[in-house]
Each structure stands twice: as C-alpha cells, then as structure tokens.
Amino acid sequence: MPRKILIGFGIDVDAVAGWLGSYGGEDSPLDISRGMFAGEVGVPRLLELLEKYKIKATWFIPGHSLETFPEQMKAVRDAGHELGLHGYSHEEPLAMSPTQQRDVLDHTYKLLTEFNHGIPPKGIVAPWWEVSEEGTKLLLEKGIEYDHSNMSRDCQAHFLRDGDTWTKIDYNAKAEAWMKPLKRGKDTSIVEIPANWYLEDMTPMMFMKASPNSHGWVAPQAIEQLWKDTFTYFYREEKDFIFPISIHPDVSGRPQVILMLERFIEWINTHDHVQWATFHEMAQDFRDRRGSEGWAGEKEVRVEARL
C-alpha cells in the first residue's frame, strides 16, 4: 500500500468553561474575560486560518461553549468541521461521581447531536486529558467511536484498552505488598487517537495563576521547532503514522501563534504523502487499515511484544 500520513488539528473550545472547570479562574472576572476572548475572537481567527489552507479540523466543544457562543459555534458547524465532545464546564472527571459523569455525557451528547442537525458526535476529549475508571464504560454505552485522551502511544492509533490495574506503594506495609507488575485489561472497540502534551499549545503558552508551573510566555518558535522535530522523526522512522495536534482558541487565536501555525502548515505541506484529516477520519482509516501490512508496521509490533 502507498505511504499514508494523516495530520490534523483537534481544537478544544475551552473558553469560559476552562476557567470554570480546570484553570482556577471561576471567581475571577479577568479570567472569565479571557474565556470570552477565546469564544468571540479566537474562534473566528482559527476559522479564517483553516479556510485559508482548506483544512477541516475537529472541534471539541464543551456544552458551556456551545450555549455561550452559539453564533461562533454555528460558524464552525456550517464550515463543515467535525464536532466532538469535551464535557460541559470542562469538569474534572476524577472529581465527579459516576452519576455526574453520566449526566454530563448524556446532556452534552444530546446538545451536540441536536445542534449538528441530528448527527451525533463520534469522538471525545476528556477535559484536561484526565480519565476516570468509569469513563470508558460510559463511552462504550454511548457508542463513542474514538477517544483522544490517553498517552500510551504517540503516532499510532490503536484500540483503547480498559481495566488496567496496578499496585500503589504503601510505605506502611512490607515491600512485597507493592512489588507487583501492572496487569493489562482488555481492548475495547474505541479507537484511541493518542493525546500528547508535547503536541499542544496551551500548557506552554497560556498563563494560569492557579498553576504553579504555568508559563504563558514561551516563544511560539520554540513550540514550532518542537512540533517540527517530532514530525521529522516520525517521517524518518515510521512508514505510516498519524500526527494529531491539540490547539485552543484561547492560545492559538493569538496573533503570534497564528503566524506560527501558518509557518507550520506551510512546512508540513512540503512533505509527500501527507493528508490533513479530521480525528474521525484518522479513526476510521485505522479501522479500515488495521491488519494491513505496514499500518502498524513491524516496529509497532515489536514494541507490543516487548510490552
């Protein structure tokens, strides 16, 4: 089969929801105003960028953002982009009860389906890329086809495994109590499009007062080089691979980051065999090609054997 490299943007419209659920700005009018910038300024700028390069992206939209910025989200939908789930108020999954998790998933699934003319969302990004013990079961019950929240791979799609168990250290017990290996669970039908802290914009380029390691002033050129180096390695070492990038209008709607994204897109487009794709297209391509020689590649098979 000919070489195939799929690259795409997952755009998390955190906006006000991010400050309510994760960033520690729920009591700050200033931080809420930063969320307004994301919805009212960042989203239109990213839409213009994607239209300029004729790229279809996947927009993961919290229910709060959908209802707070209906006109901007309508523009996203009408431009033909994929819509995915991202909680309601960017809630921390590990802080919620199973009932709360189910209620948020049910509500946001219904919101996005009705908003998208009856087309249900196929994929999800867990807020803050944090997943709960119950989360995968809830997604399976909902018929979700792919997830973009886990990090056991970086450039290869795979079936999400559920039910791994491990033993935490208990310094009050004998050492033999915790010296046990991780036990793997079972593969599910959900395709995992790997998440990656090194292929996203927010962590290095957005200041959060509540985060002790928050930066916010990292030069976009540093992130640009990081992404280029990562892609260059994959392009050299992997026959086929995916390159999912996570961005946010909160950050990538800023002028200096838009200019960086333009340079990066134009650089990517100089490579052969590269196609821009939505995350659902990446997941569907994995389903279509899994088992075909060369998709996972011999290297990936060897890695699985070692693990």
CATH of the domain at 163: 3.20.20.370
Q: Is 11 within the bounds of a domain?
A: yes
| 131 within a domain of the structure (yes/no) | yes
- Residue 251 vs residues 22, 254, 279: alpha-carbon distances, Å: 16, 6, 20
In order along the chain (307 residues), what is the average pLDDT of each group of 10 residues? 94 97 94 97 98 98 98 98 98 95 98 98 96 94 97 97 96 97 97 98 93 86 98 97 98 98 98 98 94 41 33
Sign of CA dihedral 166, 194, 245, 35: negative
Query: What is the pLDDT, as a whole number, of residue 185?
Result: 96
0.85 exceeded by pTM: yes
3-state secondary structure string across the chain: CCCCEEEEEEEECCHHHHHHHCCCCCCCHHHHHHHHHHHHHHHHHHHHHHHHCCCCCEEEECHHHHHHCHHHHHHHHHCCCEEEECCCCCCCHHHCCHHHHHHHHHHHHHHHHHHCCCCCCCEECCHHHCCCCCHHHHHHHHCCCEECCCCCCCCCCEEEEECCECCCCCCCCCHHHCCCCCECCEEEEEEECCCCHHHECHHHHCCCCCCCCCCCCCCHHHHHHHHHHHHHHHHHHCCCEEEEEEECHHHHCCHHHHHHHHHHHHHHCCCCCEEECCHHHHHHHHHHHCCCCCCCHHHHHHHHHHC
Domains held by the chain: number? 1
pLDDT of residue 294: 37
pLDDT of amino acid 291: 59
CA gap 288, 290 in Å, rounded: 6
Q: What are phi and psi of 92, to 5 degrees?
A: -80, 110
- Is 229 inside a domain boundary? yes
Domain limits at 225?
5-293
> Is residue 298, in this structure, part of any structural domain at all?
no
Within a domain: residue 307? no
Give pLDDT, residue 110.
98
Question: Is residue 299 one of the residues assigned to a domain?
Answer: no
177, part of any domain = yes
| C-beta of residue 185 within 8 angstroms of C-beta of residue 164 | yes
Q: Is residue 302 part of a domain?
A: no
